[in-house]
Amino acid sequence: MKKALFVSLFLLFLITLLISTGEKAHSFFVGFGSGGAVSNTIKDGQSKGLIPIDAPPPGNLSAALIGWTEIDLSWQNNTPGQTNIIIQRQLWGGSYTTIATAAPSATSYADNLVTANNTYIYRLRAITPAGLTKVSNEDTNMTAPPTAPTNLTGASAGASSVSLYWTVNSVNEAGFYIELAVGSGTFSSTVTVARKSAAYTWTGLLQNSPYTFRTRAFNVLGNSVYSNTTTVTTSLYTWNVATVCNTSSFTNPVALYKMAFGNGRNDATNRIYCGLNSPVYSVKEFTYAYGAGWAMTDATPVSINSTRITTWNSIVRAIAIGNTKNDGTPRLVYALGTSLTSNIGTSAVGEINYNLAGHTFIWTTPAVSTTRSGNLNHDVIVASPDATDAAGPTIINKVFSVDDLTKVYQSYYTTGVYGEVSINSTGMTNKNYSVLCDSLKTSDTKKRIYAAADNGKVYEYTWTSSATVTNFTETTIATNSISISPSTTLKTLTTGTCRNDGVKRLYYGGGDGHVYELTSTSPTAWTNTDSGSLTNAITAIVAGNVTPDGYVNIYAATTNRDIFQLSWLSGTSEYSIVRIGGTTGWVNDMQIFAGRNDGTSRLYLSTDDGYLLEYTAQ
């Protein structure tokens, strides 16, 4: 039978609570009944430190090894109104004991009572007027060198990154050293990662290249032995190829020759310019608009200087953009080559101005060069070489061009007209294919003119006297005597810091399929290094930063219509060679610029079957 509900019932539950204070265990009873017995009993237990109060304890406790007999603690105070902090330590396998009581504002403590080759675990509790908080996080350290990590593995995280993972077996490491070797070479690069880390992503690597890694833990008492090694090959970049122009849609499909990129209209928009070999389409301008794509404009001049060029029927071999008159206005410079009609026996260099006449934009052509002994111009640049007798740079822009009859020409604007002189007084003995201006010497920062010829030589031209524009000295800095078919014809030159060591070098491609690297080693000496074979003769070459990893690479095209990237392998003495694409025709020119005016550099190629292509690395 049920007892009457009106009878006051008193139910006593016996609960044994064992809460360690670091010195002894306490047992007590909590009774449940009327009159707030529960609340009073809990408060009594909290005030005696037997029941944790509902307040945040200290946090972020870290135990740092200082030496064989010292471990330093640091933490963050989180408890409002705390009056002291209890510091407790446990020897591995033992029980916690209180080793010190710190002031309420303290955030660190040096434990000098440890001994060598032991493992210690620490925790904290805050004291408040209401009682003790719960314990903080624990942290562990050991007074000995760390145990080695194991199970190192890796995986490619893209074309320039490798993700690494390992098992941490130590409790007392200050961090981990991770070392890298290219392939099976010597470990030459090291990074440091934080304590307790078990993963790391190594970035800035080259695509399609093997890398070997190892790691070890370290602390103030020494290093662990190494982990196992793991070798990972990075993946290839994906290259997106877009067609800027395809002349197969023209009435007469034509070849595209050397390109220029710049502000040809003086309107703050950079554009691509390219010469063609058709009588109808001699110079084209390509402009990219976001959302609309590429637009092509005919940049062929409206009128032609008949005393210089009989008709506009000559191949436009090369294009350049620059401030040729030193008046702040960029102009388009073109080099004409072999005529497509029999009535023209000479070639010339012209300048195209873009003017606004009323509301109509027109192209006009003042003369730059009216006489040439050759009938084929291969290259043209606008440059400002430095006179070596001047205290600083001599900023006077001039036009330099090379032809197929041994000459390197300098055209300069003065007193309202252009003058012209050949700067190679001794004269090359073969056709000249490429010309550029850069500072490459170890002895000074002066910019000089460099040219390549089909006799396997590279020439350097130094302007020795600012008093006259004609005083240049010629030096042969490379002689390539390799005799294979086709002969070692230097198709083009380029410069760049392709070893990514801050040293700018000169690169040229040969008819033997090899890429050569010229390094200035003294005021008069150069080192000529074979950087790799692409099997087939090289038709175009350029150096620059195109890939997302930020490295400067070499790009070269061959007669087999393949496009290659050569990347320097840091820590080795070689370039890695990767085929990145191909074309349907020979590549006449390769250049790198931000053609879309979006800050992203891309690789551009013009071909002899009428394509202007854009390569974007992803």
Nearest to 60 by CA among 117, 157, 139: 139
Q: What is the pLDDT of residue 467?
A: 77
Nearest to 222 by CA among 143, 311, 125, 120: 143
* Between 495 and 425, residue with greater pLDDT: 495
Residue 336 vs residues 54, 315, 317, 590: alpha-carbon distances, Å: 88, 6, 6, 19
Q: Which amino acid is at 454?
A: D
pTM confidence score: 0.72
* Mean pLDDT to the nearest integer, 51-61: 88
CB 412 within 8 A of CB 398: yes
| pLDDT, tens digit (0-9, with 9 covering 90-100), for 315-362 | 777 888 988 888 888 888 777 665 433 333 345 677 777 765 543 444
- pLDDT over 70 for what percent of the chain? 77
Closest CA to 251 of 288, 279, 284, 292: 279
pLDDT of residue 327: 84
- Which range, of 176-190, 421-435, 558-572, averages the lowest pLDDT? 421-435
Instruction: Give the pair of three-digit tokens for residue 462.
Output: 């130094």
Element (H, E) at 360: strand 360-364
pLDDT at residue 393 in the model? 63
How many CB atoms are closer than 10 A to CB 159? 21
124, pLDDT greater than 90 = yes
The residues facing 183 across adjacent strands are: none
CATH number of the structural domain 55-142? 2.60.40.10
Residue 338, pLDDT score: 54
**CB of 36 closer than 8 Å to CB of 73:** no
Write phi, then psi, for 3 (nearest 5 degrees).
-80, 160
**Among 496, 497, 492, 564, CA closest to 533:** 564
- The distance between the two most distant Cα atoms of the chain, rounded to a whole number of Å, is 132
In this prediction, residue 592 carries a pLDDT of 96
- Say which residue, 334 or 460, is predicted with more confidence: 460
**CATH number for domain 150-233, candidates 3.40.50.1100, 2.40.70.10, 2.60.40.10, 2.60.120.200:** 2.60.40.10
Burial code (b: 16+ CB inside 10 Å, e: under 16) for 295-320 equals ebbebbbeebeeebbbebbbbbbbbb
pLDDT tens digits for range 403-427: 776 788 888 888 777 777 888 755 5
Greater pLDDT, 368 or 354: 354
Domains 55-142 and 150-233 fall in the same CATH topology: yes
Q: What angle do CA 565, 571, 573 make, to 5 degrees?
A: 60
Q: 372: how many CB neighbours lie within 10 A of its CB?
A: 20
SS3 assignment, position 517: strand
Q: What residues does each domain of the chain span?
A: 1-51, 55-142, 150-233
Instruction: Tell me whether residue 471 is exposed, middle or buried, using C-beta atoms within 10 angstroms of its C-beta: 0 to 12, 13 to 18, 19 or more.
Output: middle
DSSP of 117-133: T-EEEEEEEEEETTEE-
Residue whose entry in the numeric block shows the structure tokens 């073969």:
430
β-pair partners for 367? 350
Q: Among 68-72, 189-193, 360-364, 422-426, where is mean pLDDT lowest?
A: 360-364
The residues near 34 (Cβ < 8 Å, ≥ 6 apart) are 8
Q: What confidence tens digit (pLDDT) does each residue in 575-617 have? A: 889 999 999 999 989 999 999 999 999 999 999 888 999 999 9
What is the separation of C-alpha 291 from the centre of its chain, rounded to a whole number of angstroms? 28
505-546 residue pLDDT tens: 999 888 888 899 999 999 889 999 998 899 888 889 999 999
Higher pLDDT, 365 or 136: 136
What is the C-alpha to C-alpha distance for residues 556 and 581, in angstroms, rounded to an integer?
11
Count how many Cα atoms sit within 13 Å of the Cα of residue 105 in the half-sphere of its side chain. Answer: 0
> Regarding predicted confidence, which is higher, 577 or 311?
577
Cβ 65 vs Cβ 221: under 8 Å: yes
Distance CA 78, CA 118 (A): 30
Answer whether residue 24 shows pLDDT above 50: no
How sure is the predictor about 254, in pLDDT bands with cuts at 50, 70 and 90? Answer: confident
Report residue 87's pLDDT band, with 50, 70 and 90 as the boundaries: very high
**Lowest-pLDDT choice from 244-248, 460-464, 525-529:** 244-248
Q: What are the backbone dihedrals phi and psi of residue 299, each rounded to the nearest 5 degrees, phi first?
A: -100, 15
Overall size of the chain counted in residues: 618
